Structure 1
């Protein structure tokens, strides 16, 4: 039983909490203790659950169910040895209790012994008529093993017993998706819908399968049925909006996304999609209106700031783009995408020092894309900092060995500093990696081409 503050059945809970305040020990039957403990565990109030278990055990020392709750708490606290020892004692007393097997499987799962957990759970199937929870647990263990075919079988068994078990349905579709069995998923969902034709969840999932296969008209029909089954189903309107976008029917996409704003609290996803649709329709005023609404709705979510910044970049309004990305960085200084955009915008504005600072920050945050190293190094060359550029490219070589784009840059830099031996070493490396990239020397270091050593190396190897 689950207690509720608006429930007349919560008297034992109220009595128990009153007892804790007064320190007067009152008597509860074992079932009342079980309900109290179950309530606290569901609420995540482990300390209170442990108090209830101790008091329950004091009053009912032979209760197997109360000792099983103690096992559950041991497992939660990773006291697996204590849990196993207590379970072994309980098995001797009641070897046909399926809950003992469930807790044993839970311990094995915690130890990443998932196949053993499955074997134990399958034994428990013979001891109970209430098999749905066991099927679900077995399915989850198969998921831990990445055995999606077997997982799918057991989640299907859940649905055979209970057509309303939508968590099982979602897990089944997850397995189909992972196995890329979209046609099989469609066939299964159609069979399910024959039995449960007003299941908005199944229609919704059917539509998503058609989306995966780019069968947009069939997807629309499925989402329509989902909405007929439940005209407040936000997910169906969102998916229908996505389909209309794919079909370039932007007004209808906007209409569907807008409906979601009236059914539930506005989501940044819907606001951004509406803005994107208006941008496709060349309505700049409404595009900005919805992008700004998305940012105001959730300033922490980066997609809004990225959308509004890229909008201004596409309009070549780099000053406003820079203003927006600076606002975003002030909120989240650790966002790599923000810093990359910051660098690109500053480059367009010829603010090379700021652009270099942005690329440096991007690298410090762990974004080691080749283009980031190249962009920063080239900016350092422009800024007249050859030593810093060399250090940058040498760091890049650790991640991208034998890349001609890096070797030619290092060659040019070393020749510029009259470190000819190092220059020759990297020029030879560059020529060995890819002769077609020699234009880098010409573009970035034209003065180096006049050196006799460079001319000879290029003549010899080309």
Structure 2
């Protein structure tokens, strides 16, 4: 008599897998109970082999036609292999067998979410909420949907519900920080994380997010304290070291920042961003050889990191190697064509090399990209003034004033240009505007036209405002 094989959940999962593979090899048919099939499917999922896992699910369905679990597993695997219509069909069949299984509605919600059919996604997640025992992940998904719909207030409500269910849900903690950030509501973010920490003082993620919120409020000392707590709880938390380094940079504590950035290398592989940040600190300390060495390490690791190419240019510029600096500024610009700072550096280097038309073009680009950059407007007009293009210089300053009506420097420069053109009444009108905006900056006028210090009318007007 032929022996019949049946394998059950008492077996070691590994044994079930071996028996299943033996069955496939022998082109035979063994019977496995439902638990054994689940173990085999999970084994292939862990092995990242969805095709084999799907094959097992098909066998399982044939042997256990009334078990909804295998249709659900099949649907999950069809999602992974991007077979969306088949996944929906498998879920519909599962719902006919066991309509109260929350996973059906979670997976269906995921599918609708990926298709940007948000109303249907929410409908399914809400059903899942009623049926599931652990709901924090479902609440997190509902929050994602509201984020995708641009409704960050509702997303925050669900993220807080998620954390109420599971205080340790890291994803919810980070998403909450993201929502507050998008809404530019750092005050409320600080408040939330401080309350959270009162209940959960050892949550490194909460301390880290509190540090980030303080950073965005420019409260760098407080941010550093928060990052220190995060590091104390989890000393391998590289991101906390990196952000602490950034906070130290904002406090102009560059040597300390370098030490903190270097600590990240103990816990993760050095990366281009960290090398670039260290380079920038050395640059601020005017240790240009060290700065250049770290910028070079950075571009070697990531040739597309524009800031590092730019940094190399800055170190050369500092050493008055303008021609070489220009080469690196242009490499940075190729990677980030709309960066006003890069254009400004190029304009300045071209000017120092005596390439006035090229400098003019670059300044034109700077003010187009960033019309609030007062220094760029001043430098741009200055190049025109040097070339005796007085009308153009005046026009540029007029345009600058239109964009920056409160910048006293621009009015003082306008006064200088108008005097140079012989338009005295107009010049005196602008002098009144300049003095009204900021009387202490009147020295700017004499930087350009020192002879005006002997002009009694002008000195009288200045005296009225500076007494």
TM-score (normalised: structure 2): 0.66
1:238: how far off? Answer: 1.4
Question: Deviations for 1:399-432, whole angstroms, at most 9, x for unmatched residues?
Answer: xxxxxxxxxxxxxxxxxxxxxxxxxxxxxxxxxx
Number of the residue aligned with 2:300: 296
Aligned CA distance change for structure 1 residues 88 and 308 (closer, same or farther; 3 Å): same
1:323: how far off? Answer: 6.0
Number of the residue aligned with 1:234: 238
Number of the residue aligned with 1:371: 365
Q: Is the 8 A contact 1:12 1:32 kept in 2?
A: yes
| 1:208 equivalent in alignment to 2:226 | no
Alignment of 1:141-152 (within 5 A): 141-152=145-156
Number of the residue aligned with 2:463: none
Number of the residue aligned with 2:311: 307
Structure 1 gaps, min length 5: 1-7, 360-368, 375-434, 440-462
Number of the residue aligned with 1:93: 97
Number of the residue aligned with 1:252: 256
> Which secondary structure state, in structure 2, belongs to the residue aligned with residue 31 of structure 1?
helix
Out of 184, 198, 202, the position equivalent to 1:180 is: 184
Aligned CA distance change for structure 1 residues 39 and 323 (closer, same or farther; 3 Å): farther
CA distance in 2, matches of 1:319, 1:26: 77
1:208: how far off? Answer: 0.9
Number of the residue aligned with 1:165: 169
Out of 274, 277, 298, the position equivalent to 1:273 is: 277
1:318: how far off? Answer: 3.4
> Which secondary structure state, in structure 2, belongs to the residue aligned with residue 107 of structure 1?
helix
Number of the residue aligned with 1:70: 74
| Higher mean C-alpha deviation, range 308-317 or range 271-280 | 308-317
Aligned CA distance change for structure 1 residues 249 and 84 (closer, same or farther; 3 Å): closer
CA distance in 1, matches of 2:235, 2:250: 23
1:213: how far off? Answer: 0.8
Aligned CA distance change for structure 1 residues 300 and 169 (closer, same or farther; 3 Å): same
CA distance in 1, matches of 2:200, 2:277: 32
Question: Deviations for 1:277-296, whole angstroms, at most 9, x for unmatched residues?
Answer: 11111112221222222233
Structure 2 gaps, min length 5: 1-11, 369-393, 399-467
CA distance in 2, matches of 1:333, 1:29: 62
How many pairs were matched up?
A: 361
| 1:105 equivalent in alignment to 2:83 | no
Aligned CA distance change for structure 1 residues 370 and 84 (closer, same or farther; 3 Å): farther
CA distance in 2, matches of 1:76, 1:264: 30
Aligned CA distance change for structure 1 residues 42 and 132 (closer, same or farther; 3 Å): farther
1:63: how far off? Answer: 1.9
1:210: how far off? Answer: 0.7
Number of the residue aligned with 1:50: 54
Q: Is the 8 A contact 1:203 1:222 kept in 2?
A: yes
Out of 281, 287, 291, the position equivalent to 2:291 is: 287
Question: Deviations for 1:159-179, whole angstroms, at most 9, x for unmatched residues?
Answer: 222222111111111111112
Number of the residue aligned with 1:390: none
Q: Is the 8 A contact 1:261 1:270 kept in 2?
A: no
TM-score (normalised: structure 1): 0.67
| 1:34 equivalent in alignment to 2:38 | yes
CA distance in 2, matches of 1:83, 1:200: 38
Aligned CA distance change for structure 1 residues 63 and 259 (closer, same or farther; 3 Å): same
